[in-house]
Amino acid sequence: MRPILATISQSALQHNLSIVKKHAPHSKIMAVVKANGYGHGLINVAHGLCTADGFAVLGLNEAIDLREAGFEQAILLLEGVFNVTELSIAASFGVDIVVHSAPQIDMLEKASLSKPINIHLKMNTGMNRLGFTPSEFLPAFNRLKTCKNVHAITLMTHFATADEALGIAAPLQVFQKVTAGLSQPVSLANSAAILRYPQAHADWVRPGIMLYGASPVAGMPVAEFNLKPVMQFTSEIISVQTIQAGESVGYGHRFTASKTTLVGVVACGYADGYPRHAGQFLLAENQRGAPIAVAGKITQTIGRVSMDMLFCDLTDIPEANIGAPVELWGSHVPVDAVAEASGTVGYELLCAVSARVPMQAIG
C-alpha cells in the first residue's frame, strides 16, 4: 500500500470550535461541514464538532447522512432545495433550508409537507450570488411569514469581503436597515467576520475554514488566531536521486540543478489532490517550490508535480532516505503556505484531497 495518508485530528476540531466560542460566546454555532467536511470526511468532522448547535451542508444527501449517523442538531441546506421532492424529504428529516429565490417560495406555498420547515431567508447585500435584493427581501419575508409550510424564519446574509480591507460595514448597514423592526433570529458571520467583526456575531455564526485550522484572512497565519491544523497530509520518500549541475528532473525539465543536488521522490501527486502548479507562483526561473517537510525539516518541492509523485530537495537533509516521513501540509507546513506557493487558497487544497488517499480519524 502506498504510504500516503490524511490524518484527521478531532481534538484539533474541538480546539478550533472553542476558539469560535471564545470570539462569539453569545451566539449559536452553525458549523459549516459542506464539501465532505472541507475534505476531512463529513462524519469524522461532525463527531469532532458534536457540541456545535448545528451543521450547514450543501446537499440533501449530506444532511441525511448526518441524521442517519445520529446527529440531532439543526442541519441547514445552504442552497436550499431544488425541487418539491427534495423539499418533502428535507421536511421529513427535520432539515432546515435556505430560501434565496422566488421559485423556492412558490414551491413552499404549493407543497404538501408532513410538517412545517425552518427557513433561513437570505439577503443579497453585495455578494451578488444568491439571495433577495434589499428591495425584494421584505416582500419575500411577508410571503414566508404567512406560508403554512414555514415554521420559523432566520434572517441571513453572506459577506463578500469580511477577509479583506474593505470589511463588512456597507453590507452590514444594508442588512440592518432592511431588517430593522424584525424580531427573527439573525445569522451573518463567516469565519473572517467571527474573528474580525464582533458586531456581526448576532444570534448565529457560521464558521467554516477556521474550524479546519486554515486562515480565513489572506496574509495572516493561523497562529495569530490560535487555530490548529486538523489535517496532517503525509507520505514518504520512495526514491532518492543525485543529480549534477546542469541535470534536470521531471516533466518538462522545469528544475535544472545549479550544483550537485540530492532529490527525493515523494509518493504524492496531483491525482492525490496535491496542486500540480505548486511552487510556480513563487518561482525565480522556476528554481523554487512549495514548502514541504522531510524527517521534520523544512525544504521545498522542485520541478513539476506528476500524477502520482513529486520531487523535493534533500540536499540539506542528507540523512533522509527511502522511507523518510514527509509532511505535505499539517503541523510543520501550514496548508496556507502551500496554497500561497500554488496561487490558490487553503480551502481549495483541503477540499481537493482525493478519494484514493486513505483517511483516518484520531482523538
Q: Which listed residue (22, 28, 34, 212) is catalytic?
A: 34
Cβ pair 216, 41 in contact under 8 A: no
Q: What is the DSSP string of 71-100?
A: --SEEEETT--SSHHHHHHHHHTT-EEEE-
Known active-site residue 145: no
The DSSP code for 132 is B
Cα distances (angstroms) measured from residue 300 to each of 138, 154, 255, 266, 303: 54, 47, 12, 12, 10
Q: Which of 361, 352, 362 is nearest to 268 (CA)?
A: 352
Joined grid coordinates for residue 17? 470550535
Q: Which of 27, 46, 347 is nearest to 188 (CA)?
A: 27
Joined grid coordinates for residue 52? 456545535
The alpha carbon of residue 167 and the mean position of all alpha carbons in its chain are separated, in whole angstroms, by: 20
Give the DSSP H or E segment for 8: strand 5-9
Q: Which listed residue (22, 110, 148, 251) is catalytic?
A: 251
Cβ pair 286, 255 in contact under 8 A: yes
Other Cβ atoms closer than 10 A to 153: 18
Q: Report d(CA 273, CA 267) in Å as an integer.
A: 12
Q: With 0-12 CB in 10 A as exposed, 13-18 as middle and 19+ as buried, what is 131? A: buried
Count helices and strands in the chain by DSSP H and E runs: 11, 18
Cα distances (angstroms) measured from residue 119 to each of 79, 81, 90, 202: 11, 11, 11, 17
Active site residues: 34, 251
